[in-house]
Amino acid sequence: MSASRRRPEIRELLAEAFEAFLAYRRGLGTCHAHVLVQIGHLARFLAREAPAARVLDGPLLDRWLAPLADRRAATRGPYVRIARQFCLFSARVDPGVSVPDVRRVPRVWQPFRPYLDSRAEIRALLAAGRDLPGSLRPHTYYPLVLLLYTTGLRLGEAARLVLGDLDCTTGVLHIRRGKFGKTRLVPLAPGVLVRVTAYLARRRAAGAPRPPRPRCSGTPEVPTASAACSPD
């Protein structure tokens, strides 16, 4: 594709205000992929339809949202919301910026009915993990399900755990790259620590890769296996 026909990158179309807004969101750790998509959509529209526009007024906002008129409220809402957030940010330095009314954001009503697993269901899930084939797999999935059940870890957080994230002495997990890129410390119940350390012993016996090692100084003092945490 020739240089004259090359599709402009979003960054080439962003004005100084857009760059400042994205930098602000990055600083908050909330500059997610969907934010770039929505801001890029708005930037391209302004560059094409209103390159001299100084404010995103009501009529201009309507023109931008017109192609989304047939979309669901759940789809249109984030676009209106990000435009309003951008205008609120810009209004801090330019009082002449028009901020879309919050009532312009489509309301989305999605009934949410939380489901709480029963003890019987948790026991069945643990049993299914324990009955998996393989020499190490059942001893991996059983403590994994137990960690998810007792600590409230997100599935992605549990999947990203490495050996160095566990302090066997204190029984604390170091969760890295959680929601919004934040980290936190999660203490394990004594019985859960028993199960996890038993898994680590089986892992070593199976010859699985060991680095990085858990942060253990000597032999950790943990309760006996009879104190293991279980929904039983």
Which backbone phi and psi does 39 adopt, to 5 degrees?
A: -65, -40
Active site residues: 154, 179
How high is the pLDDT of residue 110? 66
How high is the pLDDT of residue 46? 82
Which residue ranges make up each domain of the chain?
10-104, 119-227
User: Residue 137 belongs to what H/E stretch?
Assistant: helix 137-151
Write down the architecture of domain 119-227 according to CATH.
Answer: Orthogonal Bundle (1.10)
Question: 198 with 225: CB under 8 angstroms?
Answer: yes
Question: 210 with 204: CB under 8 angstroms?
Answer: yes
pTM for the full predicted model: 0.49
SS3 221: coil
How high is the pLDDT of residue 28? 84
Sign for the pseudo-dihedral over CA of 33, 37, 40, 42: negative
Q: Fill in the DSSP letter of residue 203.
A: H
Tell me the C-alpha distance between 82 and 42, whole Å: 10
**Under-70 pLDDT residues of the chain:** 1-15, 54-55, 96, 101-110, 180, 210-232
